[in-house]
Every structure is written in structure tokens, then in C-alpha cells.
């Protein structure tokens, strides 16, 4: 079993993925963390110094490596499904979960921690919300191709029990 988690920046994909992987006893990977370790630099600096195209190439390479590993949960970057054939790779090699979080909640989260998010540097909360809306409109069609949708429209953590039930139901139906 391999589970990919996608969604907008700031939805809590990494936090959710770690908890999910512990709950169902699978290894956890975060694409951004793997890229940072490999490059010896944080994502913000990679994008600033080498450009987004370079970062997206590294993201694709890392996804391809992780796609060969079984029994894991993978937290993907918000833009991962938008580039190369990443969406097809994720759909072919595992199940894809879209963690869909209210944009107002995301804007507040990002406004409190802009330093790790190159797309939002120097923006206030209203500007962040506008940018998030613009990004969401471009990405929602790809996000909607996920096998499982998890709506999280509260600022509290997602309850894992219904998520695990959805995953098990999906796996059961897929294996018929």
C-alpha cells in the first residue's frame, strides 16, 4: 500500500501524513524534506537560488524514487500534481488523498509562518488569501482526481478514524 497526500500549501499534509503513517504503521516520507536533505538547502532557498523549474525537476526525481517504495505514506508538495506526469505516477503507483482545507484557515497558518513558503514572502494575510484563491483555481481540477477526498474545514486536526475507514474501503474495492 502506498498513500500520497496532496492539497494546497499550508493544509497540514505533513502533519496529517505523519499521524496517518503512525496509525496504520507505514513508513512516512515528505517530498520537500527529502529534497532539502538531498540538496542540503531549504526549499525557499532552492527556489530563490536555482529557480522553480530546477525545484520542480528535483521534486519529480524524488517522487519517482519514492514511487518505487511500497508500504508508505508520502506527503507531496501542493504543486506536485501540476508538473510533469506526477499526477499519473501517483495514481498508478498508489492511492491519492486530497486534504482539502478552508482557504481562510490556510491563510492564517501561512501568515503566522511565511518564512518556509516562498510563494507568500512579504504578503499580508489578505494578500495571502487572494494568492491562495488564485492557486486553488488553477490546481483544484488536478486535486479533484484524488481517490479520496478529506474535507477539513475546521482549524482542528482531521479525525483519523473516518479517513482510515475510507482508505480501507478504497483498497477493498480496488482489489476486487
Instruction: Give me the CATH number covering residue 131.
Output: 3.40.50.300
Identify the pLDDT of residue 116.
65
What pTM value is reported for the model? 0.92
- Asked whether residue 174 is assigned to any structural domain, the reply reads no
- Asked whether residue 54 is assigned to any structural domain, the reply reads yes
Identify the pLDDT of residue 155.
56
Distances (CA, A) of 51 to 44, 45, 88, 111: 10, 9, 24, 23
Instruction: Convert 67-100 to b/e letters by CB count within 10 Å (16 or more is b).
Output: beeeebbbbbbbbbbbbbebbebbbebbbbbbbb
Inter-residue contact 78 to 9 (CB < 8 Å): yes
- Asked whether residue 58 is assigned to any structural domain, the reply reads yes
- Asked whether residue 175 is assigned to any structural domain, the reply reads no
pLDDT in tens, 3-55: 999 999 999 899 989 999 998 999 999 999 999 999 999 998 999 999 999 99
- Asked whether residue 169 is assigned to any structural domain, the reply reads no
- Asked whether residue 172 is assigned to any structural domain, the reply reads no
Q: Helix 43-50 crosses helix 52-66 at what angle (to 10 degrees)?
A: 130
DSSP state, residue 94: S
Coil/strand/helix, residue 116: helix
Identify the pLDDT of residue 56.
97
User: Of the ranges 44-53, 84-93, 144-153, 158-167, which one carries the lowest mean pLDDT score?
Assistant: 158-167
User: Of the ranges 32-41, 99-108, 121-130, 165-174, which one carries the lowest mean pLDDT score?
Assistant: 165-174
Pick from 140, 65, 82, 164: which is nearest to 74 by CA? 65
Q: Which structural domain range is residue 110 located in?
A: 2-154
**DSSP-derived pairing of the beta strands 148-152 and 95-101:** parallel
Domain count across the chain: 1
pLDDT in tens, 45-88: 999 999 999 999 999 999 999 999 999 999 999 999 999 999 99
- Asked whether residue 170 is assigned to any structural domain, the reply reads no
- Asked whether residue 176 is assigned to any structural domain, the reply reads no
Inter-residue contact 35 to 58 (CB < 8 Å): yes
Amino acid at each position: 500500500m502506498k498513500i500520497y497526500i496532496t492539497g494546497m500549501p499550508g493544509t497540514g499534509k505533513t502533519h496529517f501524513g505523519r499521524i496517518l503513517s503512525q496509525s496504520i504503521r507505514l513508513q512516512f516520507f515528505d517530498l520537500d524534506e527529502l529534497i532539502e536533505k538531498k540538496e542540503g538547502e531549504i526549499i525557499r532557498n532552492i527556489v530563490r537560488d536555482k529557480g522553480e523549474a530546477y525545484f520542480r525537476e528535483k521534486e519529480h526525481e524524488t517522487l519517482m524514487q519514492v514511487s518505487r517504495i511500497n508500504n508508505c505514506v508520502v506527503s507531496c508538495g501542493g504543486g506536485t500534481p501540476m508538473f510533469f506526469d506526477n499526477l499519473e505516477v501517483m495514481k498508478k503507483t498508489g492511492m491519492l488523498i486530497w486534504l482539502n482545507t478552508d482557504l481562510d484557515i490556510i491563510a492564517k497558518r501561512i501568515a503566522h509562518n511565511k518564512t518556509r513558503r516562498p510563494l507568500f514572502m512579504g504578503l499580508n494575510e489578505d494578500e495571502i488569501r487572494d494568492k491562495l484563491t488564485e492557486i486553488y483555481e488553477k490546481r483544484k481540477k488536478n486535486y479533484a482526481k484524488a481517490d479520496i477526498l478529506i474535507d477539513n474545514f475546521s482549524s482542528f486536526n482531521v479525525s483519523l478514524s473516518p479517513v482510515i475507514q475510507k482508505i480501507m474501503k478504497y483498497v477493498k474495492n480496488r482489489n476486487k
